[in-house]
A and B are shown apart, each in its own frame.
Chain A
Amino acid sequence: MSNGIPLAEALARYRADADLGPLPELADIDALLNTYHPDHLRDSVIKLTVGANAGDNCQRELAGLLQAEAFIDEADLAGTPVTDVDVLVIGGGGAGCAAALAAAENGARVLLATKLRLGDSNTVMAEGGIQAAIEPDDSVQRHIQDTLRGGHHAANPALVSAMASDGPEVLRWLIDQGMQFEQTPSGDLHTRRAGGMSTARLVHCRDYTGLEMMRVLREAVIQHRSIEVWEQSPAVELLSNETGQKCVGAVLTSLLDGQLRIVRTRSVILATGGLGRLHLNGFPTSNHLGATGDGLVLAYRIGARLCELDSFQYHPTGMLHPSHLAGKLVTEGVRAAGALLVNGLGNRFIDELQPRDVVCAAILRECSEGRGIRIDAQRVGVWLDTPRMERAQPGLLEKQFPNLMARTHVGGIDPRIEPLLIHPTLHYQNGGAVIDVNGATTVPGLYAVGEVAGGIHGRNRITGNALLEIISFGRRAGIAATTNRDRGPKKVTLEHVNRLRRALTLAGLPMTQRAPQILPDYAAGGAWNR
C-alpha cells in the first residue's frame, strides 16, 4: 500500500478551522461493504469440513483453529488432581464476573478460572458506554430495532429482545454493585447518541466505563464468600460424559506451575471473550493479550453449534501512531461527541455516526484510493479531527476523555492540538456460540456468555451493546446454570475429542496444528511452550 498523501504534506495542509467541503452522498452501502470491508477480502473465508458447522463459511485462520488437534488425551488425565464445584466459569472479564456473581447469589459454589489476572479483559478497556433505553423519547422497542438494523438483520430477535429489555434493570444492578455513571445536573443518567442509534441511549462513566465496571465487578467477585478465583489458569479442554454429549467439566492448566487440573461440575459457563489477538487478515487489534478465541475452539470441539464465523468487527478508529499504541482504540464516544473524520485532501468522506462496519469500509476506501495519509510504506490512515472538536467545545477532551488524554500524553501527543491518525483495527467477534435466552449452547451443561456467544449482534455490533450483553446474559446464564440440581457427573471423559479426531482423520485434514492458542506467539516466550 504505497499510495497515499505523505504525512508531512498532509500535516502542512491540515487546519482545524479549514472548510471540509460537503459530505458526499453515501450511495450504495452494500457495494461499499462488499468492496472494502475486511470480511469480504478475497480468500479470507473458507468452508468448515468437520463439526457442527460443517459446510458453513468461516474466516480462514479461525477455521484452522476450530479444526485443530487437542493438547491432551486420556493418558494426561491419569493422576490429575480433581476439584468439584457446582458451577465453573471460564473467563474473568465482565461476563464471567456477572455470571459468577449471579450463580453465587443463587446459592451455588462457583469456581472462576481465568487465563490471566481477574479483570484482564476487553471489558476493562471499553470506553464508550453501555446502552439502555431510559430516556423519555426512547423505548426498549427502539433499542431492539436499532440493534437488529445495525446487525443487518442477521441477529436472533429473541436474544436482542431479551438483552434490550434487561437494559434498565442491568443499570440498576450495576449501581447496586457500586458502579458510578455520569449524571446531568438534575441527576439523570447522562446519555449520548452514538453510531447506529436512533436516539441518545449510551450511558457512560466519562471514557472509563469499562474500567469502572470491571473494577467494581472484580471487587465484588473477590469479596464473595462462595466464589473461588483461580488466576493464570487457562482452560485447555472441556470434559464430556461417557457419550461425549454433555459438558461436565474442564481441564485447566497453570501458567505458573504448568500443572493440569480437572474441574468436575454440573455446568460450565464459557466467558472467554473474543479473538483479536489472532490478528485475522493481518490486522492490528484493540484487544487485550488473552483474546485468542479459546472458548470458540473448546465449544466447537465438544459439539456446540457456532454462528457468523465469517463476520468480525473492525473498529473504525484504531490508533496508527504512536507505534506502541498501534491498533488501540479511540473510543467511538469521541465521534459521538462531534469529532469528524477527514482524509488527506482535507475532506470529510463519511457520516461519522454510521454503523461501525460502514465507517470502517469508508476509511479503508479512502486509504486504498490514495486519499489516506501515509507515515511509511506499511502505515496509512485518516485524520480524526480532535482539534476541530476542541475549538468548537473547548475543554471537552480533558473533561470527558481523560483516558484518551492520559494515553496519548504517554506517547507525547496532544489531541487538542494535533489530529489523531487512525486506521481500522480488529475489535470484535460478531458471532460465536449459538445460545438461547439463558445463554445455553446446543450442548447440555455448556453455557456461553459475552463475546464468545453469538446471535445477539448479527453481522455488526453497535456501540454500547457489548457492555450490556455481558451483564444481561452473564446474569441469565449464571442463574440458569444453578437450576441443574442433578448429582453431577459420574464419569468425565474426552470422548468428544476422540470424536473430532476421527472426523478430522476421515476428512483427511492435517492434525499438525494444536488449539486453543492460549497466548499469541509473540508473547508466548517460554511461558506456554507447546
Chain B
Amino acid sequence: MSLTTHEKGQPVALTINGLAVDASTDMTLVEAAWHGGVPRITNIGCMEGVCGSCRVMLRRGKEVSVGLACQTFVEDGIEVVFMPPASAPQHHYDIGDLKDGWDIHARFHKIFPEASRCRHCHGCNTACPKGIAVEDGVALAAAGRYREAGETFFECIMCELCDAACPELIAPAHVGLFSRRVTAHFHLRPPNLIHRLEELRQAHAIAPQDKKDEEENHADWPAR
C-alpha cells in the first residue's frame, strides 16, 4: 500500500467470533470487527501493534495461527476469534528482593524452573507476532546471559502469546522481561545521571528549605 500504488480495498467476507462480516481488504481485523458490529470485543488497546491486547486466533482453511488483530489485514474466508485475556502470571519475584548480582543465576532458576526444560518445539517462535527468536532468548537466559537474552526480547509487546504456546509453561515473555529488568537493575549505572543526582543531593543538603518553600508557594495559582 505504498503511496505510488495507492488503491481502494476489495470487498471480502470473513467471520469474526463466529459472526459473518463483510469488509474490505484495506481494513485490519479490528476495523472489520467494528465495521461488522461484532459485540463484546474489549481487548483492543493501541491499534498500532505495541500493547499486545488484541490477540486473535486465525484459521485459513486447515491452517491455524495466532496474531494481533490491529496488525492483520482481512482476507477472504479467514475465520477470526478474539482470544480472552491472558491469565495471571505463575512466576513471582520482587526485583527489590534481588540484592546480589552474583546470586542472580540461582535465583532465576528458582523463579523460572521450567526455563531449562525447553523441548525446542518452536511453538513460541511461531506464535510471536513480532518475529522474536523466543526460543533462543530463553536459552540465553537459562545460560545466565541476561543482557543478550533481554536484547533478543527487545521488541516484546507483552501479548504473552508465547506463554500460551509453551507446552512446558516456561512463560518466555516473563523470562525476557526478567532478563531485561535485571540487566538495568544491576548494570545500568550512567555517569551523567549519577553525577547530577550527587549534585542535587549536595545542593539539597545545603538548602533543603528553599525547595520546600518553592513547592508550597502555589496556593494562589491559577492567577488568571
Cβ 8 A contact of B4, one of A11, A402, A436, A527: A11
Q: Interface residues of B: mostly helix, strand, loop or mixed?
A: loop
Assess whether B6 is in contact with A375, with CB atoms less than 8 Å apart: yes
Cβ 8 A contact of B42, one of A157, A215, A324, A527: A527
- Please tell me if B62 contacts chain A, counting CB pairs below 8 Å: no
Assess whether B222 is in contact with A187, with CB atoms less than 8 Å apart: no
Assess whether B50 is in contact with A324, with CB atoms less than 8 Å apart: no
Which of B26-34, B117-125, B133-141 sits within the interface? B26-34
Q: How far is the CB of B154 from chain A (nearest CB, A)?
A: 8
Q: How far is the CB of A58 from chain B (nearest CB, A)?
A: 15
Assess whether B188 is in contact with A162, with CB atoms less than 8 Å apart: no
Which residues of A are found within 8 Å of B92, using beta-carbon distances?
Answer: 223
Q: How far is the CB of B165 from chain A (nearest CB, A)?
A: 19
Cβ 8 A contact of A288, one of B47, B88, B218: B47
Assess whether A527 is in contact with B192, with CB atoms less than 8 Å apart: no
Which residues of A are found within 8 Å of B214, using beta-carbon distances?
Answer: 158, 161
Known interface pairs A175-B184, A178-B95, A180-B184; A222-B88 also in contact (CB < 8 Å): yes
Question: CA separation between A124 and B89, bound complex, in Å?
Answer: 20
Question: CA separation between A328 and B158, bound complex, in Å?
Answer: 20
Assess whether A418 is in contact with B2, with CB atoms less than 8 Å apart: yes
Which residues of B are found within 8 Å of A183, using beta-carbon distances?
Answer: 188, 190
Which residues of A are found within 8 Å of B224, using beta-carbon distances?
Answer: 154
Which of A65-73, A403-411, A483-491, A499-507 sits within the interface? A403-411
Which residues of B are found within 8 Å of A321, using beta-carbon distances?
Answer: 1, 3, 6
- Please tell me if B169 contacts chain A, counting CB pairs below 8 Å: no
Question: CA separation between A117 and B82, bound complex, in Å?
Answer: 14
Assess whether A156 is in contact with B221, with CB atoms less than 8 Å apart: yes
Q: How far is the CB of A486 from chain B (nearest CB, A)?
A: 23
Assess whether B192 is in contact with A157, with CB atoms less than 8 Å apart: no
Chain B residues numbered 167-224 whose CB sits less than 8 Å from any CB in chain A: 174, 177, 180-185, 188-193, 195-197, 200, 211, 214-218, 221-222, 224
Assess whether A175 is in contact with B6, with CB atoms less than 8 Å apart: no
- Please tell me if A49 contacts chain B, counting CB pairs below 8 Å: no
Question: CA separation between A175 and B194, bound complex, in Å?
Answer: 12
Assess whether A525 is in contact with B41, with CB atoms less than 8 Å apart: yes
Q: How far is the CB of B216 from chain A (nearest CB, A)?
A: 8
Known: A125-B48, A177-B181; 13 extra A-B contacts, CB below 8 A, are A7-B6, A119-B52, A124-B46, A132-B193, A154-B222, A175-B184, A178-B183, A180-B183, A225-B94, A322-B1, A324-B70, A410-B49, A418-B4
Assess whether A189 is in contact with B193, with CB atoms less than 8 Å apart: yes
Assess whether B45 is in contact with A116, with CB atoms less than 8 Å apart: yes
Question: CA separation between A134 and B193, bound complex, in Å?
Answer: 5
Which of A75-83, A163-171, A350-358 sits within the interface? A163-171
Assess whether B215 is in contact with A437, with CB atoms less than 8 Å apart: yes
Assess whether B180 is in contact with A134, with CB atoms less than 8 Å apart: no
Assess whether B155 is in contact with A124, with CB atoms less than 8 Å apart: no
Using a CB–CB distance below 8 Å, which chain A residues touch chain B? 7, 11, 116-117, 119-121, 124-125, 132-136, 140, 154, 156-159, 161-162, 165, 168-169, 171-172, 175-181, 183, 186-189, 206, 208, 210-212, 215-216, 218-220, 222-225, 231-232, 255, 288-290, 307, 321-325, 328, 375, 402-403, 406-407, 410-414, 418, 421, 434, 436-437, 455, 519, 522-523, 525-528
Cβ 8 A contact of A208, one of B28, B41, B50: B50
- Please tell me if B44 contacts chain A, counting CB pairs below 8 Å: yes
Assess whether A402 is in contact with B2, with CB atoms less than 8 Å apart: no
Known interface pairs A215-B156, A219-B181; A156-B45 also in contact (CB < 8 Å): no
Which residues of B are found within 8 Å of A169, using beta-carbon distances?
Answer: 197, 200
Q: How far is the CB of A431 from chain B (nearest CB, A)?
A: 10
Q: Mark B20-61, 1 if CB is under 8 A from A, else 0.
A: 000000111001011001111111111111111100000000
Cβ 8 A contact of A414, one of B2, B89, B177: B2
Which residues of B are found within 8 Å of A179, using beta-carbon distances?
Answer: 181, 184
Question: CA separation between A361 and B124, bound complex, in Å?
Answer: 46
Assess whether B26 is in contact with A322, with CB atoms less than 8 Å apart: yes
Assess whether B42 is in contact with A216, with CB atoms less than 8 Å apart: no
Which residues of B are found within 8 Å of A528, using beta-carbon distances?
Answer: 42
Cβ 8 A contact of B182, one of A133, A178, A224: A178
Which residues of B are found within 8 Å of A176, using beta-carbon distances?
Answer: 95-96, 185
Q: How far is the CB of A118 from chain B (nearest CB, A)?
A: 9
Question: CA separation between A474 and B125, bound complex, in Å?
Answer: 36
Assess whether B197 is in contact with A168, with CB atoms less than 8 Å apart: yes
Question: CA separation between A225 and B221, bound complex, in Å?
Answer: 39
Assess whether B221 is in contact with A188, with CB atoms less than 8 Å apart: no
Assess whether B215 is in contact with A162, with CB atoms less than 8 Å apart: yes
Known interface pairs A322-B26, A413-B1, A437-B215; A403-B193 also in contact (CB < 8 Å): no
Assess whether B46 is in contact with A178, with CB atoms less than 8 Å apart: no
Assess whether B93 is in contact with A178, with CB atoms less than 8 Å apart: no
Which residues of A are found within 8 Å of B156, using beta-carbon distances?
Answer: 215
Which residues of A are found within 8 Å of B34, using beta-carbon distances?
Answer: 522-523, 525
Assess whether B53 is in contact with A168, with CB atoms less than 8 Å apart: no
Question: CA separation between A163 and B196, bound complex, in Å?
Answer: 15
Which of B1, B177, B192, B224 has the largest count of A CB atoms less than 10 A from its CB? Answer: B192
Question: CA separation between A215 and B160, bound complex, in Å?
Answer: 12
- Please tell me if B126 contacts chain A, counting CB pairs below 8 Å: no
Cβ 8 A contact of A175, one of B3, B44, B188, B195: B188
14 intermolecular pairs with C-beta atoms under 8 Å apart: A116-B53, A124-B51, A140-B200, A156-B222, A176-B185, A181-B184, A183-B188, A187-B190, A216-B177, A219-B174, A223-B89, A223-B92, A525-B37, A527-B40
